[in-house]
Amino acid sequence: MSSPATAPPAVRTSGLTRRFGAVLAVDGVDLTVERGAVFGLLGPDGAGKSTLLRLLATVLRPSAGEAQVFGHSTEREAQEITGRIGYMSQRFAMYPDLTVAENLDFFATVRGVPKTQRATRATALLEGMGLGEFRGRQARHLSGGMKQKLMLATTLMHEPDLLLLDEPTTGVDPVSRREFWRVLAGLHRAGTTVLVATPYMDEAERCTSIAFLDGGRIRQTGTPAEVAALVPGTLVEVVCPDPRAAVAALADLPEAGSPHVLGDVVRVLWRGPAADAEGALAAHLAAAGMPSAQVRAARVDMETAFAVLAEAGR
C-alpha cells in the first residue's frame, strides 16, 4: 500500500475476479502496474488476459474484488477513468464504412479532443504510422496491419495516460509489428503507461515488467529477467543428425525435462546439477546410438520460460 502522499499506481487490483456463468475467467488477481511501465500480460489463449483488460477498461464489472485505475474504482468511478485511458480491443473495432480520417475524428470528438487539436494530432499520428496516404480510405479496405495501426492511432488521439492493448499485433506482419513497438517505445519515453496483452514472447522481452496469466490467475510476475530466472533447471541444446530420435531417446532420462525439437536442435531443461548436463546427456545419447550428439548451454528466452512455466502450472 502506498502512502496517501504518493500518486496511486496506474493500475492496482486486489482479488479481482470475473465469472462468465460457470467459467472463472479471472480468478483473484492481485496486480500492480506502476506509472510509466510497459507491462506485458502473457498467457495462453483463454488465460483471462482479455477479460482482465476489459475489467480495467471499465467495460466489464468485476464479480468480486476490486480494480483501480489511477486510484479510481472501475466499478464506481468509470467516468473518471474513461477519459484517461485508451483501450484497444483484440478485434477490429472501428466503423468499416467510415474513412481513416473520419474514424479518428469521430472518436476524438467523442473523447473531448478540441477541434483545433484534432486535425494536427490526426496528421501527426497518421504520418508517424505510415497511414498518411490512406486518410480517405474506408476502414474496411485497410490491410490487417493498417487496421491495427488505425486502432492504435484512434486510441492515442486523446493522449491517454494509460494504454490497454489487447494483442495489438496479432495477425500483423513482422515489419508492422516492429513499427508498432517503435510507436509504443516512443509513448513509453513520453511517460505513458502501457499494459499490453500479447502471445508473442519476443514482445514480452521489450516490456519493463511482465506477468504470466494462466487459468485466470497470475502465476509469475516480475521483469523479464526475473521471470526467466524462475525457470527451474538449466536449458541446454543438443545438436544431432536426427533430433526426433534424440527426443525419443531422452524420454527415459529422468533429469532431461521436457525435451522438444526447436528448429534443428533438441532443447532440454536439465533438472540435475548444471555441471552434469553436458556429460550425462552426451553419454545417454551415445548409449542410444547417437555418438555424434553435441550438447551446449542455451539462454532462457521468454518463449521457453513461458512454455515451461505454463506446463509447470498445470
Partner 1 sequence: MSPTLTRIGAVARKEFIHVRRDPRLLAVVLVMPIMQLLLFAYAISFDVRNLPTLVVDLDHTPDSTAYVRAYEASGLFEVTSRADSLAAVDGAFDRNEARVAVVVPAGFARSLARGEAAEVGILLDGSEPNSARIAQTYAAALNQLESRQIAVTWAATQGIDLTQSGSVEPRLRTWYNPERASSIFLVPGLMVVVIMIVTAQQTAVTLVREREQGTAEQLLVSPLRRVELMVGKLTPWVLMAFLDLVVIAVLGLFLFHIPLRGSVLALGIGAALFVASCLGIGLIVSAVAPSLDTANMAAFLVAFLPAFLLSGFAFALDQVPAVIEWISRVFPARYMVTISRGVFLKGAGLDQLWPEVAALAAYALVTLVLAARLNGRRA
> 234: closest CA among 284, 311, 307, 300?
300
Please state the closest distance from residue 112 (CB atom) to partner 1, in A: 6
Which one, 102 or 301, has the nearer CB to partner 1? Answer: 102
Which one, 83 or 241, has the nearer CB to partner 1? Answer: 83
- Residue 19: burial class (beta carbons within 10 Å; 0-12, 13-18, 19+): middle
Please state the closest distance from residue 110 (CB atom) to partner 1, in A: 5
Please state the closest distance from residue 199 (CB atom) to partner 1, in A: 19
The CB density around residue 82, as the number of other CB atoms within 10 Å, is 18
Are 227 and 300 a contacting pair, CB within 8 Å?
A: no
Three-state secondary structure call for residue 256: strand
* Spatial distance between the Cα atoms of 304 and 187, rounded to a whole number of angstroms: 29
The CB density around residue 189, as the number of other CB atoms within 10 Å, is 9
Which one, 112 or 263, has the nearer CB to partner 1? Answer: 112
Please state the closest distance from residue 278 (CB atom) to partner 1, in A: 52
Which one, 23 or 93, has the nearer CB to partner 1? Answer: 93
* Spatial distance between the Cα atoms of 8 and 26, rounded to a whole number of angstroms: 23
Please state the closest distance from residue 119 (CB atom) to partner 1, in A: 15
Q: Which residues on adjacent β-strands are paired with residue 67? A: 13
> 125: closest CA among 148, 147, 94, 104?
104
Which one, 91 or 244, has the nearer CB to partner 1? Answer: 91
Please state the closest distance from residue 115 (CB atom) to partner 1, in A: 8
Which one, 106 or 258, has the nearer CB to partner 1? Answer: 106
Please state the closest distance from residue 200 (CB atom) to partner 1, in A: 22
Residue 219, Ramachandran bin (φ over 0: left; ψ between -120 and 50: alpha; else beta): alpha
Give residues in contact with partner 1 (CB under 8 A). Answer: 54, 57-61, 78-79, 82-83, 85, 87, 89, 91-98, 102, 106-107, 109-112, 138, 154
Name the one residue in this structure whose C-alpha cell is 476490486: 66
Which one, 91 or 178, has the nearer CB to partner 1? Answer: 91
